[in-house]
Chain A
Amino acid sequence: MSWSTAKLNSSILQEPATPPNPSIDLLSIGGPVISPKPIWRYLGFYFNHRLNFNYHTHFYTTKCLSTLSAMKMLGNSSRGLLPIQKRLLYRTCILPIALYGFQLWFFKGAPIVKNITELKKMQQRAALWITSAFRTSPSEGIETIAGLIPITLHLRKLNGRHYLCYVSIPPSHAINSLLDSQHAKNQTPHKTATSKLTAKQQANLKSPIKDVNEWLNSVRNYFNPLYPLFSPGSRIVDHFSSRISFHSPSSSSDEDLYQHLQSLNLAFRSS
């Protein structure tokens, strides 16, 4: 009896098993009962529960493919727009749509294969349109002829530029609260900031902010004293010694230095 009571008590105190799709009842404040959907759209990003952004990429590439189909009426291999104009149209009107929000899924350790494949297919279709090549032509070849950068390299380039933007954000920016303490610009760290995570958690973390941190650590005025051009024998003076002459002041006294400065000024004005 005592055992069964203890079991009952424990089952009451224990949190019930997670419902299949927990919803929130807003009836008490005059709202509806809201249930989560499989895909959630926020600010144009399509989130799914695992954050792989497969639907997001699929949605935007499909949008671009339909735009490309419509653009086919603008020209073909014999008349209409020139290939260079088609390329310009693709790079300005289609590519920015396809790559909207890529910063959310393109970072180290993220599962990107599906997303990249979708984008590659879209770019291949664009390259076929630009070059008016046969549909069985190799995609890398026609991409090169069309003058398009492979999509992975393009994403890497844009990502680097995106990270650089975080160098100049104002101190009150929300992103600062997630960065390491040396980049946080005196903002209070968020509970999920990289500086608040343990070493193990930091090592396992896969997020765009981790990449931003690494990138920001590498942004500094860099001077390599052992650069090959600085070594004796390779310097500009060594190569062109006959063409370079030095005019030093005769002594380090103030009067001589003044006279030397005057003569330099005169030479500068007369030239």
Chain B
Amino acid sequence: MTANGFLDPNQLGDIRQRSTTDAGVYLTHIIRAGWLRQCYTSVIAFDIAQFFPSLNHEFLSICLKKARLNTNVVGFFNSYHSNHSTTYTWNNFSSPAFNTNVSVGQGSALSPILSAIYLAPVIKIFKKRLKNLKENILTDILSFVDDGLLISQEKSYLLSSSFLLCSYNIISKILIDAGLVMEYSKTELFHFTRARHPP
């Protein structure tokens, strides 16, 4: 899938040969090279709330088809995810079965790659929407499973902040369309500068 270009290069989690160190090295280089070009780097880190339990099965099956996987594999996952139900048991009490058309087993061997496939179209749509804007917004996105990062490098904080706000707005809307919700309380902002004192 990485070979056929379905997964975005900036997706660094849950895929072979892509580690947290790679994400750190990538970010460090971007910031240091940006300083040489007299640009400040600002980032917004966001977290997706209840990521694994929120993955929609219908959306996932569409993503699997788009990933051009073998039809047998797509069929297997469709069957694996269909007719899921959950029953809650407490001492002698058992609830009736509830249909569950969301969630990928957290901790299962397949959930990392399934989550990566789920997020790939989200990142693609985000990049496309940024390109279609009248204003040329150069915001990078870095994704490590449910931890996303928007990076903006501009000559002033005002400009980078407004670009980040715009990008954040776009990505939150795309995530809502994909059945995911951002955890606003965990959103963080950070500015990098060579100045001795923080901005």
Binding site for B on A (CB under 8 A): 15-16, 18-26, 28-32, 34-38, 40, 42-45, 47, 49-51, 101, 103-104, 162, 165, 168-178, 187, 190-192, 194, 197, 201, 204-210
Known: A101-B21, A192-B37. A22 touches B187 (CB 8 A): no
A58 CB to closest chain B CB, in angstroms? 17
Query: Cα distance A211–B177 when bound, in Å?
Result: 42
Asked if B172 is an interface residue, CB under 8 A from chain A, the answer is yes
For the complex of A and B, list the 10 residue pairs with the smallest distance between their C-beta atoms, beginning with the closest: A192-B33, A31-B184, A40-B190, A209-B29, A207-B32, A43-B20, A207-B29, A34-B189, A172-B2, A174-B9
Query: Cα distance A230–B8 when bound, in Å?
Result: 50
Contact B189 A35 (CB under 8 A): yes
Contact A206 B32 (CB under 8 A): yes
Known: A50-B194, A201-B37. A26 touches B187 (CB 8 A): yes
Asked if B36 is an interface residue, CB under 8 A from chain A, the answer is yes
Contact B36 A205 (CB under 8 A): yes
Q: Is the interface of B mostly helix, strand, loop or mixed?
A: mixed
Nearest-neighbor residue (CB-CB) of A179 within chain B: B29
Known: A18-B199, A208-B29. A51 touches B192 (CB 8 A): yes
Contact A162 B21 (CB under 8 A): yes
Known: A18-B157, A30-B184, A43-B147. A175 touches B26 (CB 8 A): yes
The 0/1 profile, CB within 8 Å of A marked 1, for residues 22-51 of chain B is 111111111111101100000111000000
Contact B28 A51 (CB under 8 A): yes
14 new A-B pairs (CB below 8 Å) besides A21-B198, A35-B189? A15-B158, A19-B157, A20-B199, A21-B199, A24-B44, A32-B187, A34-B188, A36-B198, A43-B23, A49-B198, A103-B24, A162-B21, A192-B29, A208-B25
Among B65-73, B99-107, B162-170, the stretch in contact with A: B162-170
Known: A201-B36, A207-B29, A207-B32. A50 touches B187 (CB 8 A): no
Query: B residues within 8 A CB of A197?
Result: 33, 36-37
Known: A42-B147, A42-B149. A205 touches B37 (CB 8 A): no
Query: B residues within 8 A CB of A16?
Result: 158
Contact B36 A170 (CB under 8 A): no
Asked if B10 is an interface residue, CB under 8 A from chain A, the answer is yes
19 contacts between A and B (CB under 8 A): A15-B156, A22-B161, A22-B191, A29-B172, A34-B187, A36-B198, A36-B199, A43-B24, A45-B24, A47-B192, A51-B32, A104-B25, A170-B3, A174-B10, A191-B153, A192-B37, A205-B33, A206-B32, A207-B33
